[in-house]
A and B are shown apart, each in its own frame.
Chain A
Amino acid sequence: MSYLFNTPEQQQEMLQTIGIDSLEALFSTIPADLRLDRPLDLPPALSEMELQTHLSQLASQNVGPTSRICMLGGGAYDHFIPAAVDEIARRGEFYTAYTPYQAEASQGSLQTFFEFQSLICQLTGMDVSNASLYEGGTCVSEAAFMAMRVTNRHDRVVLLGSLHPEYRQVVETYLRHLNCEVVIVPCKDGSVDPADVDAAMDDQTACLVIQHPNFFGTLEEAAELTEIAHRYGALSVVSYDPISLGILKRPGDYGADIAIAEGQSLGTPLQFGGPYLGLFSCSEKFVRRMPGRLIGQTVDRNGKLCYVLNLQAREQHIRRDKATSNICSNQGLIAIRAAVYLSLLGKQGIREVAELSCQKAHYAAEQLSSVEGIELLFPERPFFKEFVVSCSEGADYLLRKARQAGFDLGPELSRFTFENCPENYQTGVLVAITEQRTREEIDRLVTVLKA
């Protein structure tokens, strides 16, 4: 076995040193009646060559964006990944390193995470960022927990009905057993009415969770909604699309207290939904209530600038059942990808990606809605890079026709349940356009759909 180092002769020597006579005897502390009396029933072992053939064969049964044109959205996006991102992330020094508890042995990871935090602060306009959480959905739950600690209100959180339905489901799972009411503000025409939000808030609400751009791609009145949250003494939690901040106002610019996001767009491949990257930032005054890992700058015993894991007492190690969360890991390697991606793009690049996505999405929306039977479901709402179309022949017809011509659209809204939403939502199909899509592709799709 190529991963096990000791020869049978060495094993014998080692057993002698230990003072026992067989490998079996090493397991003598496992009572005999608890032992498995047969080999595990697993598929046969494969050599590297055989495994590669096998994986290639499985991969060939899947169809990915290399052979189809991806206009799928709904929280995971086919943005371009510069080669340098993979080059850095594939360095063994990063991906085979341990959590940086021993600062002296981990300055590379620590400085990179510190810079990741700095980049996220610049991107969002927030004061502090942690070194990442699992993914976008769990970030909402962690933000709600944090808002409860900060406001000392534990009974009620309010979510916009335009929040990603899977994020909403995660929050409901996380909060179900804490006697916390989860209130959903209905979404009427692809976004919520601030008056409805105002009606849903009260002075026992811990936070208002806004997604902007929202699940349907449209913009919410994020600044006004933040003001409403503050009027009730609740925290404003904004879930953003990181690419959108190349052109949109940043959550910090309009006073959000906690800014969260799915960071997959920042240099991480789609890989069927994970691992992704939970971005979590907040204003300075809440830093000690923040979940997850934080990297801080300090000096060493010789006065040299260096980086350490900071404020660890908030984690699960020390206060245990009083911990701010049970999170033990971050998404270190994915955070490194995001740091490299944001460094490569810089202030100009992030603007270009955002503008290209926005311009092309609007072109696509215009062209698609020129097809007879297809229209925008929310024609009045401004959007960023994603929009909902409906088809008079039905969502399935539209998806099938596009798919036959090599285009993947979606997800279809009928996959999800949207509480208190109009029935016509069931006919909708999301279309996401990134900077990677070309006019030629969009025109070809339109031609196919017109035929």
Chain B
Amino acid sequence: MRNHLATQPLFDLSQPGRRGAQFPAADVPEKPLEELIPSQALATEPTGLPEVTESDVIRHFVNLSTLNMCVDTHFYPLGSCTMKYNPKRHERLSSLPGIVDLHPYQNQADLQGMLELLYVTQEMLAEIAGLPAVSLQPAAGAQGEFTALLTAKAYFEDKGEKRTKVLFPNSAHGTNPASAAIAGFDCVQLASSKEGLVDLEDLKSHLDDQTAVFMVTNPNTLGLFEKDIRQIAQMVHDVGGLVYIDGANMNAILGYTRPGDFGGDMMHFNVHKTFTGPHGAGGPGSGPIAVRDFLADFLPGPVISHDASAAEGEAYQLVTPAKSIGRVRSFYGNIGILVRGYCYLRTLGAAGLKAVSENAVLNANYLKALLKDVLPVPNGDLCMHEFVASASRSKAANGITAMDIAKRLLDFGFHAPTVYFPLVVPEAIMVEPTETESKETLDAFAETITRILKEDPEFLHQAPHSTEISRPDEVVAARHPILQCCESE
């Protein structure tokens, strides 16, 4: 039973004179503010923040939180997004005093434990990537892409070359071309082959001495391993270009193969996708990059170095690479998320990581096998950690779209899969169960989809039926944006 008082808009809860936080009186001799700050800089009236009590705040936000589906409460089969279980130990350990409360400008001698943790993180990521140099600085995967592209650009300029083109397959994440454009490159989109892989002929036709970087996700966004990746890399290298691996799907290949081994020169990790940083309803993420040795000098700094023979308190140091592209953010990176990644890697070790990929791929192929008769999967017999089904057949037969299925799943307590991505599959339904789901959950999910496909299409168009709201009007929202609650009418 829900009482709607607490979830009404926050500002409606405000009553003049209420407060949720109390501060002590000043213990220093106070002076009139006008003596400290020039009057033209002082506010003439208080901010319009609401006035509510601590209990108002708690009840409001706790009630709001219960309007969410989340990994802690629901199965989240989101393709391309890897929503797996977030271990609780990480939250405790990343909050330890001496971890959570360090100021970025403290004396390095007082930070040796943190710097050691980050140094070992660099080393572990380098080993997993098969690429020796790592920068932990990027704040998210997309910033990792951008950072790596700038690193490549600096490398070419250092060689006296000015290359203009970045190539990517048409199934790429939208961030790839966006990052390339912001880094000042021209974007060239390539076709996919019938099998959903990079079309080698099309790639060949675009490769020339202007090719700076080929960006590819492997396994790709259809959940397929690019089996010709070494040949692809060779083709790119033959014209002097670099290969960038979008690490979004690394959880499929941990311990089985490494980007550095199959021809990648640069990659980013998504710590939340591969190493269980929680998604946080949109972030924070963390997007460390790994590169080949000849690119190391160009990485953004600082990175962490280690000298075992150094004096006490100086073994771990923050250093800026010799020809660094500069900074891509203030301070050092999304450390709190990297600490969670470190905890995960230390919990699993080599065998555990390999088991992660085995179970992720097993779960995806099992679910695909259960669904393939009702939701055909156009590309590939075996998938990696995810697959892309298509609702084209049901749409043609009785008008049931990918979106209808997605919305109706919410009624059964399953989060919707990713729909309408990648763009190369019509009525795409992209499913990634992840390794932390059980067979029982996958069986129940497959049964539910099968059942939904037999339901009345009209009923499905109106789904979901049991959630707090259903099918918001996004057209009106976009045409007349209301982006805060106190706007003048």
B481 touches A311 (CB 8 A): yes
Is B23 within 8 A of A352, CB to CB? yes
Of the residues B33, B57, B284, contact of A329 by C-beta under 8 Å: B284
Whether A93 is near chain B, meaning CB under 8 Å from some CB there, is yes
A135 vs chain B, min Cβ distance (A):
6
Which residue of the partner chain, among B30, B142, B229, B436, contacts A5 with CB atoms under 8 Å?
A: B436
- Least CB separation from B88: chain A residue: A92
Q: Does B169 contact A (CB under 8 A)?
A: no
- Residue from B68, B81, B382 in contact with A105 in the complex, judged by beta carbons closer than 8 Å: B68
- Select from chain A the residue with minimum beta-carbon distance to B68: A108
Q: What residue of chain A has the Cβ atom nearest to residue B353's Cβ? A: A40
Find residues 22-72 in chain B having any chain A CB closer than 8 Å to their own CB. 22-24, 26-31, 33, 36-38, 40-44, 46-52, 54, 57-58, 60-62, 64-72
B62 and A298 contacting across the interface, CB-CB below 8 Å: no
Find chain A residues with CB under 8 A from B103 CB. Answer: 64-65, 70, 72, 76, 78, 270, 272, 408
For B124, what are the chain A residues with a Cβ–Cβ distance below 8 Å?
42-43
B101 on interface, CB distance cutoff 8 Å: yes
Interface string of A321-349 (1 = CB under 8 A from B): 11101111111111010011011111111
B33/A106 in contact, CB under 8 A: no
Q: Which residues of B contact A60 (CB under 8 A)?
A: 98, 113
A100 and B281 form a contact (CB under 8 A): yes
Which residue of B has the minimal Cβ distance to A355?
Answer: B33
- Pairwise interchain contact B282-A330, C-beta atoms closer than 8 A: yes
Contact check, B282 vs A35: say whether CB atoms are below 8 A apart: no
Query: Does B19 sit at the interface, judged by CB under 8 A?
Result: yes
Known: A107-B68, A311-B481. A328 touches B141 (CB 8 A): yes
A311–B110 Cα distance when bound, in Å, is 46
Question: In the assembled complex, how far is the CB of residue B136 from the closest CB belonging to chain A, in whole angstroms?
Answer: 10
Give chain B's interface secondary structure class.
loop
Count residues on chain B whose CB falls below 8 Å from chain A CBs. Answer: 203
Q: Which of A240-278 contact B (CB under 8 A)?
A: 245-250, 253, 262, 269-276
Per-residue contact bits, chain A 19-31, to B (CB 8 Å; 1 contact, 0 not):
1100100111111
The total of chain A residues at the interface (CB under 8 A) is 204
Q: Are A51 and B93 in contact (CB under 8 A)?
A: yes
Stretch at the interface among A6-14, A202-210, A229-237, A420-428: A6-14
Residues of the A chain whose Cβ atoms lie less than 8 Å from the Cβ of B421: 317
Q: Which of B393-401, B452-460, B462-470 contacts A (4 or more CB under 8 A)?
A: B462-470
Contact B96 A332 (CB under 8 A): no
**Docked-complex contact A118 and B485, CB < 8 angstroms:** yes
Central interface residue in A65, A132, A273, A353, by most chain B CB within 10 Å: A273
Whether a CB of chain B sits under 8 angstroms from the CB of A286 is no
Contacts of B476 in A (CB 8 A): 298-299
Min distance, Cβ B278 to any Cβ of chain A, angstroms: 5
Q: Does A156 contact B (CB under 8 A)?
A: no
Taking A97-B279, A104-B467, A274-B337 as given, write out 16 further A-B residue pairs in contact, using a Cβ cutoff of 8 Å, ordered by the A residue number: A17-B370, A23-B358, A36-B255, A42-B127, A42-B350, A65-B103, A88-B65, A134-B329, A170-B326, A170-B328, A298-B473, A317-B174, A328-B140, A343-B60, A349-B19, A359-B31
